[in-house]
Every structure is written in structure tokens, then in C-alpha cells.
Amino acid sequence: MPPYSDAFARPRRKMVEEQLIARGVDSPRVLAVLGELPRHHFVDEALASRAYADGPLPIGYGQTISQPFIVALTLQALSLKPTDRVLEIGFGCGYQTAALAQMAAQVYAIERVPDLFDKGRRHLKEFRFANVFLKLGDGHLGWEEFAPFDAIVLAAYAPQVPTRLKNQLATGGRLVAPLGDAVGQSLVLFTKKTDGAVNRRPLANCRFVPLVKGLSAR
């Protein structure tokens, strides 16, 4: 983990206590990881003082870093084991990717915006994770070469989960995605059963940017 100022220790602790624990996040692993991960490292310096506030922040290119509670809720719902392989769609600035890397065996993360891909990659490089693999591409397609995945997480909303992503989820796997439209969205947990059926459970209302096909030009 890169060096960071102790000046952020108190805001980070307050974030965990008032935003996560107070809202029902009780996974010891999730609380430990987010209690140490320097969120301010993943936002622009001008926004560092707001890094632990209760809400999303802009990270450029029309994208955001998600509200801490939504990240925590997602991680808790995934019920990650140290042996799990995770696919992340839309890694953005890399904050959630860094958390996933500390909770799973391997993380395969895709970002479609070239400049944001470079930005997130720079952030993650400082952590020297050996288990994170990044790809510039269309998240709708997933990463079939390394499928199936024990867990899949989408960081952008869609009317429904792309079929290719469902097909890349292992039996017993968990997938968390924000579903809906520009008016309203719900964070949903999908669990793939042994008979191939997929259970669905809503977690919370949320607000994400849309999942868009294709690549942006540099």
C-alpha cells in the first residue's frame, strides 16, 4: 500500500463507523479493508478532503467513484473467499479494484474509457498487486478467456445484466449489478444455482453512470 498521510485516518475511521457499520455492513473483512484503503489516493488532489464523504465523487470523463456505502454493500454481498476469481466491469479510478484485490485470489478488471483506464492503472500500480489484471475493452463482452468467475461486479447500470456476463458466472457464483435507467436504479445480487437458475435479490437503491458498449476514442 502506498504511503499516505495520517491526517486521513480519522475521516476514514468515521466513514466506517457512521456510513458502513451504522447502515448494517458487518463483514469483518470488508470493514477491515475499507478501514485501511486510502480512498483519497483514488481521487484528484482537489477532492481529497471530500474522499471520505457520504456520496460519489467525479473522477473525470463523466464517471464517478461510488459512494463508500455502496462499495461496502457490494463487497459484502459478493461474500468473497480468498480463493475466488473476480471480474469487475468498469474499474474507473481503481478504488473498488484495490479492495477486491485484497479479498480475492485474482481480479480481472475491464474499463472502456481509454484515459480513465490509464488513470486507474496508475493508481493501482502504486499498490504493486500481483493478482490484478486490467483490460481496455467493452464490458458487455466480459473476459471469456478467463471465465468462469466466482464473482462478477458491474460499476455501471443497465436495464438488465448482459447475457455474456451471466454466462461467464460460475455455478454458485455471485453477481452484483445496478439495474434500471436514468430515472431510478436498484443494486441487485444474483446467485447462480447448481441447476443453472439464477436467484435475484435487491440490495438498495443506487445511482450509477450507464454501461455503454464500445470504446471511446483517445
- Positions annotated as catalytic residues are 66
DSSP 25-86: ---HHHHHHHHHS-GGGGS-GGGGGGTTSSS-EEEETTEEEPPHHHHHHHHHHHT--TT-EE
User: Cα dist. 205→21, 179, 208 in Å?
Assistant: 18, 10, 10
Residue 98, C-alpha cell as written in the block: 484495490
- Asked whether the beta carbons of 34 and 68 are under 8 A apart, the reply is yes
